[in-house]
Amino acid sequence: MAALHIQSLKKAFGGLPAINDVSLKVEEGERRLIIGPNGAGKTTLFNLVTGDLNSDSGRIFLFDTEITRRATHRRVHLGLARTYQIITLFSKDTLEHNIALSLLGLSKERWNTFGRNHSPEDAKAVLAMVGLEHLGQRPVSEVAYGEKRRLEIAMALAQKPRVLLLDEPLAGLSREERGAVKQLISKIPRETTVVMIEHDMDTALDMAETITVLHYGRVIVEGTRQQVVADPKTREVYLGH
Amino acid sequence: MLFLLAAGFSLIFGLMRIANLTHGALYMLGAYIGVSILKTVPNLWVAAILSGLVVAVFGGLLEKLILRRLGGNVLGQVLVTLGIAFILADFCLVVWGGDPIPVPTPAFLQRPVRIAGLAFPAYRLAVVIIAIAVGIGLFLFVEKTRLGAMIRAGVDDRDMARAVGIPVSRLFTTVFCLGAALAGAGGVIGGPIMSAYPGLDADMLPLALIVVILGGVGSLVGAFVGSFITGFVYTFGVALLPDLAYVILFLPMILVIAFRPRGLFGKFAA
Amino acid sequence: MVGGEYYVNLGSQIFIFAVFAASINLLLGYGGLPTLGHAAYLGVAAYLAALCALKLGWGHLAAAPAALVGTTLMAAAFGLIALRATGLGFLMLTLALSQVLWGTALRWVAMTDGDNGLRGLTRPFGMDDAKSFYYFTLAVTVFSLWMMARFVTSSFGAALAGTRDQARRMSALGHNVWMVRWITFIYAGFWGGVSGLLFVYYHKYIHPVSLSLANSAEGLLAVIAGGSGTLAGPLVGAAIVMLLKNYVSAYVERWNMLLGFVFVVIVVFMPDGVVPGVKRLWRRYISRA
């Protein structure tokens, strides 16, 4: 069964098609990379999958559940998690608090209006996973950019998602930071299916076994790394850009 | 008459994203100034125009001196307009006292007019005609003139408008004046029907709000249709169930919000 | 002792107003939802309690819960409407809703006696002297503020603050943002209702002005003056507003004009309120010492 199955999805903004008949099937445990130049519709595709945007037509399945019209938070409860390209963290709060909010999102405890029964240990354990445990008490606004990126990923991983969407996790990072984040992603357990967007082709090719090239809202090429690199259409998209 | 009120409110809110809560107070101020002018110049139309000008100047000063400083602080702007509204209301109470002041209807409009066997009070008919005329005038202004085009650009995308060199801040002052003028003149023209009394501001503000919520923010057509619906519902509501006119007023608003949260003709969510 | 009674009554008024301001603070300070119609809950609870007593002849033990239930249900219904929007839209909708109630209270003379207000009410437990009512109010206020403090520091409160700062992110983390806001709206309405009950017991009289924009604005001013999103803010703000109102109105009649000026001054010069301002100074003092 596919972990994420998209059937002829369409979305237009004021008559301009952003996603034009995209179908996609990501198997369970797969690492899928979606590349394409800026404006190819990659983030729009993510927003449609998470429910930040509603599609005009087409269907989306998460495992055996159709999620096309479900509210964003319901999709999260079905095992979907994402990171954002532009960092949207709770910048005044500590790293631990950010993780705690993520853990709360899936716990019944979030409806507790009278007390606070979550242990800081859980949040610390998650931070340790990404090597940020020493910064737990710092407010987000005071840590480095690369650390924020890792926190983004940690917040998504904290929910032990079945499908994880990573929106340009390497963007804006230095070479060393990029190495750290790449290693972090490679350590994600296989129970989690990972779909990752990247607009720069070279940085991320080695992170996935299957690659989809998106251009003007359409799937241009799809296949293994070798197939995609060898395909003349890929080069056309990137050289023509 | 309601349209004059709501159009200004809608313009200001749509373009500047300022919920101008002084609007009801400006309307009342207009009505009172009109009353004073009428004592020396016994002509309602002159009074309306003069009063509109005075209120426009006041609105312009308010925008330039206070609101401009709070750019971006949306809640702050709302609260300041609210504070000014209280000051204005109290000011009117000090100057013109607590008793309602009737505004005389112009003599030649006092008789009822018969159309198709139905009698209409001539003055109300005249108000409707003025509202339509102003509505058309505003529509032409916004749709056909250069300034209007700039205003529309500002409503659609403020940053973009600034980027292409439109003097957005001067435009804001202009629009604020225009909106205030409409409220002020509306207060005078509405005078013979409503008269001028303390609390007029609080009566008018919810009407303006409901019209704009109904019609959609920043839409003239919406403000026009919204005022007609609100006016009708209110008038009939008062006639049928005087105690609950306000509750009835509220029904179209609920329906619109439930089904069209952007209002009937709005571009943005209210 | 007459002077003593004056201060005791002033204390009661401050406490009542603090509960009201704290309930606004739940929405404005913690939920990021600027309400300009919170007088609706104070006024409706007060009117319901008064009407139950006067028209139905109910005792306090029946009227008070009925008023609170009615107010809470109304908050639930209003929340459905107002939460179609956030920010300015929310503000306008709450304002419009409360203005409609105000207009109704003023016009529906058969029910509310309009501008005359409803009189002839009593306090519960025969607390007609200032002192025993003061202690009653104090107890209720402490309990209310404590409940609200528990609310904002709870797990739910953490989620609420999250929806204020990053609503979209919160839903991407599995939080039902709308539901969080709605529950808060209802909760704030309930405590607004509690303050309304205290209000009507204190004055033994209720007038449409309690439902007015000016009343909502005074509450909002107290929250902002005290510091929104802080626990002590509403109490400090309520004290400031009530002291101003009582002392100044003893000398000049123009309370509304003053209220307007205070609004403008605070918003322009002290946007984050008195409590955070003092805290900032205190921290600076500590670090220097």
* pLDDT at residue C149 greater than cutoff 50: yes
Please name the residue that has the structure tokens 């082709």: A201
On average, the pLDDT of chain C sits at 85
Band (B5; pLDDT cuts 50, 70, 90): low
Domain encompassing residue C126: 2-288
Across the interface, whether the CB atoms of B205 and C104 are under 8 A apart is answered no
What is the structure's pLDDT at A118? 74
Mean pLDDT of chain A: 87
Domain CATH for C89: 1.10.3470
**Cα first-last separation, chain A:** 36
Tell me what the mean pLDDT of segment C81-91 comes to: 82
The Cα of C162 is separated from the nearest Cα of chain A by a number of Å equal to 7
Q: pLDDT band for position B112 (50/70/90)?
A: low
* Predicted confidence band of residue B268 (pLDDT cuts 50, 70, 90): very low
- The pLDDT, as a whole number, for residue C74 is 93
Minimal CA separation from C152 to chain A, in Å: 8
Asked if C151 lies within 8 A of A90 by C-beta distance, the reply is no
Asked if the model's pLDDT at residue B99 lies above 80, the reply is no
The mean-pLDDT minimum among A210-214, A217-221, C201-205, C264-268 falls in C264-268
Whether residue C100 and residue B90 make contact (CB cut-off 8 A), yes or no, is no
Average pLDDT value for residue range B65-87: 75
3-state SS string over A159-218? CCCCEEEEECCCCCCCHHHHHHHHHHHHCCCCCCEEEEEECCHHHHHHHCCEEEEEECCE
Counting CB pairs under 8 A, whether chains C and B reach 3 or more, is: yes
Strands B118-121, B112-115: pairing is antiparallel
Residues in C 243-282 with any Cβ partner in A closer than 8 A: none
Selecting from B19, B76, B87 the residue whose C-beta is nearest the C-beta of C92 gives B19
Which tens digit of pLDDT belongs to each residue from B134-188?
777 777 777 777 777 776 676 666 666 666 666 666 777 777 787 777 777 777 7
Output the DSSP codes for chain C: -HHHHHHHHHHHHHHHHHHHHHHHHIIIIIT----S-THHHHHHHHHHHHHHHHTS---HHHHHHHHHHHHHHHHHHHHHHHTTS-HHHHHHHHHHHHHHHHHHHHH-HHHH-GGG-B-----GGG--SHHHHHHHHHHHHHHHHHHHHHHHHSHHHHHHHHHHH-HHHHHHTT--HHHHHHHHHHHHHHHHHHHHHHHHHHHS-B-GGGGSHHHHHHHHHHHHHH-TT-SSHHHHHHHHHHHHHHHHHHH-S-HHHHHHHHHHHHHHH-TT-HHHHHHHHHHHHHHH-
Average pLDDT of span B94-121: 65
List of chains touching B (3+ CB pairs within 8 A): C
Query: Chain C: residue nearest B80 by CA?
Result: C264
Contact C155 A110 (CB under 8 A): yes
Mean pLDDT, residues C174-189 taken together:
94
**Per-domain residue ranges of chain B:** 2-104+112-197
pLDDT digits 0-9 by tens, B220-246: 676 777 777 777 777 676 666 666 666
Please report all neighbours of A, defined by 3+ CB atom pairs within 8 A: C
Q: Give C85→chain A minimum CA distance, Å.
A: 17
**pLDDT at position B269, please?**
39
Mutate to test the interface with C, among B29, B90, B255 (most CBs of C within 10 A): B90
Instruction: Please report the number of interchain residue pairs, chain A to chain C, with beta-carbon separation below 8 angstroms.
Output: 86
User: Which residues in chain A touch residue C177, judged by CB atoms under 8 angstroms apart?
Assistant: 73
Residue C241: which pLDDT band, with cuts at 50, 70 and 90? confident
DSSP state of A94: B
Closest CA to B74 of C247, A19, A162, C34: C34
Residues of C in contact with A110 (CB under 8 A): 155-156, 159, 175
ipTM value: 0.87
Question: What residue of C is the nearest CA neighbor of B238?
Answer: C107
Tell me the CB-side half-sphere exposure of residue B187, using CA atoms within 13 A.
38
Question: What residue in B sits closest to C86 (Cα-Cα)?
Answer: B270
pLDDT over 90 at C264, yes or no: no
Name chain C's partners: 3 or more CB pairs within 8 A: A, B
Q: Between these two residues, B83 and A50, which has the higher pLDDT value?
A: A50
The chain-wide mean pLDDT, for chain B, equals 70
pLDDT for residue C43:
92
Q: How confident is the model at residue A50 (pLDDT cuts 50, 70, 90)?
A: very high
